[in-house]
């Protein structure tokens, strides 16, 4: 069924900053012939690129009910995702209120895999993760037809977190201890979201946990980068408090820093040693490996991009 006949698909967070899931979803849906309404926070060159690709761009704030209403009205299917930020739960509840009134037929909600391990007595200190846990409940109470994606850490997150140190010193410097991790490509997450939005019926009510294909410790991940970049890359397990101080010094917001520090602690405790087959289950294609990602983005780690 082509949603273009029934109104566009709304994609929020469509400009993209870290994983840019919304931007990739927009492109994938346009390629498949769907009409897409892309919600962005500001009318900049990223918005112009979305327009040039064929999206209807709406500028608005997900924390402003009137803006959300303007974005949702007339759409039938929605992808909801936005930057890790203090207002995440408020935005989720606002979207839920508007989507209920509008009567959308499917809402794909971005969450996090850590939520799979959370209940009232087992949350984490990350306010972002707690807000995803609560946001999922708000959406469940809303009665909306929801599909939830719960990815583990994005491979793309390694670009800002490890790109500069790999480039400059040949080291991945993170406080992940000996913990294993299995990062998923945000591009794969976007393929899952676009597949669901193209034909939501079979997916309604489901929760998809998304990881990469293999759980590895950071020494092993450093070896993958070495192989791709053709030079020595090692792993330095930095002290969590030094990492926290560095994030503060770099001007990272308190909310994001608190989330990242928790994510580091959970890695150290082995809680990111995960494997789930959501990417292949939904898209029919295996998830991108660390080595494939490093090759695709090699230039950002001081190598040569092989595309």
Distance of closest approach, residue 246 Cβ to ligand NAP, in angstroms: 18
Q: What gap in Å lies between CA 243 and CA 241, rounded to an integer? A: 5
Of 64 and 101, which CB lies nearer to ligand NAP in the complex structure? 64
262 touches 129 (CB < 8 A): yes
Distance of closest approach, residue 1 Cβ to ligand NAP, in angstroms: 26
Of 138 and 227, which CB lies nearer to ligand NAP in the complex structure? 138
What is residue 159's three-state secondary structure? helix
Distance of closest approach, residue 5 Cβ to ligand NAP, in angstroms: 27
Q: Give the binding site for ligand NAP (CB under 6 A).
A: 13, 15-22, 41-42, 61-63, 81-85, 110, 112, 128, 151, 153-154, 157, 186
Of 232 and 254, which CB lies nearer to ligand NAP in the complex structure? 254
Which residues partner with 235 through β-bridges? Answer: 172
Of 227 and 252, which CB lies nearer to ligand NAP in the complex structure? 252
Distance of closest approach, residue 24 Cβ to ligand NAP, in angstroms: 8
Residue nearest to ligand NAP (CB): 19
Nearest by Cα to 179 from 205, 210, 218, 135: 218
Exposed/middle/buried for 157, CB within 10 Å: 0-12, 13-18, 19+? middle
Q: What gap in Å lies between CA 131 and CA 145, rounded to an integer? A: 20
39 touches 60 (CB < 8 A): yes
Q: What gap in Å lies between CA 9 and CA 29, rounded to an integer? A: 9
Distance of closest approach, residue 231 Cβ to ligand NAP, in angstroms: 26
Of 176 and 231, which CB lies nearer to ligand NAP in the complex structure? 176
Q: What gap in Å lies between CA 270 and CA 272, rounded to an integer? A: 6
DSSP letter at 154? Answer: B
Distance of closest approach, residue 189 Cβ to ligand NAP, in angstroms: 8
Distance of closest approach, residue 259 Cβ to ligand NAP, in angstroms: 8
Of 30 and 181, which CB lies nearer to ligand NAP in the complex structure? 181
Question: In what helix (H) or strand (E) does residue 106 lie, and over which residues does it extend?
Answer: strand 106-110
Measured N-to-C along each axis, helices 186-198 and 21-31 cross at an angle, to the nearest 10 degrees, of 50
Of 102 and 210, which CB lies nearer to ligand NAP in the complex structure? 210
Give the Å distances, CA to CA, from 154 to 61, 114, 149, 246, 272. Answer: 24, 13, 13, 21, 12
Distance of closest approach, residue 199 Cβ to ligand NAP, in angstroms: 22
Of 153 and 298, which CB lies nearer to ligand NAP in the complex structure? 153
What is residue 123's three-state secondary structure? coil
């Amino acid at each position: 069924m082509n949603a273009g006949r029934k109104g566009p698909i709304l994609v929020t967070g469509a400009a993209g900053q870290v994983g840019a899931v919304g931007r990739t979803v927009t492109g994938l849906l346009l390629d498949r012939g769907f009409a897409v309404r892309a919600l962005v926070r500001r009318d900049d060159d990223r918005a112009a690129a979305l327009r040039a690709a064929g999206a209807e761009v709406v500028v608005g704030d997900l924390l402003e009910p009137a803006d959300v209403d303007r974005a949702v009205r007339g759409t039938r299917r929605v992808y909801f995702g936005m930057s890790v930020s203090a207002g995440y739960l408020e935005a989720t509840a606002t979207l839920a209120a508007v989507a209920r009134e509008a009567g959308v037929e499917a809402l794909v909600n971005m969450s996090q895999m850590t939520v799979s391990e959370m209940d009232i007595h087992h949350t984490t200190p990350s306010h972002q993760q707690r807000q995803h846990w609560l946001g999922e409940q708000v959406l469940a109470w809303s009665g909306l037809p929801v599909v939830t994606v719960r990815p583990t850490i994005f491979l793309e997150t390694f670009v800002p977190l490890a790109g500069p140190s790999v480039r400059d010193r040949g080291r991945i410097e993170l406080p992940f201890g000996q913990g294993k991790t299995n990062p998923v490509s945000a591009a794969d997450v976007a393929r899952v979201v676009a597949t669901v939005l193209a034909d939501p019926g079979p997916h309604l009510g489901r929760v998809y946990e998304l990881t990469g294909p293999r759980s590895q410790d950071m020494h092993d991940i450093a070896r993958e980068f070495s192989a791709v970049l053709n030079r020595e890359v090692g792993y330095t397990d930095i002290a969590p408090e030094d990492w926290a101080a560095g994030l503060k010094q770099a001007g990272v917001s308190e909310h994001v820093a608190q989330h990242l520090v928790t994510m580091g602690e959970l890695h150290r405790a082995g809680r990111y040693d995960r494997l789930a087959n959501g990417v292949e289950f939904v898209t029919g294609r295996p998830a991108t490996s660390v080595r494939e990602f490093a090759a695709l983005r090699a230039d950002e780690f001081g190598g040569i991009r092989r595309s």
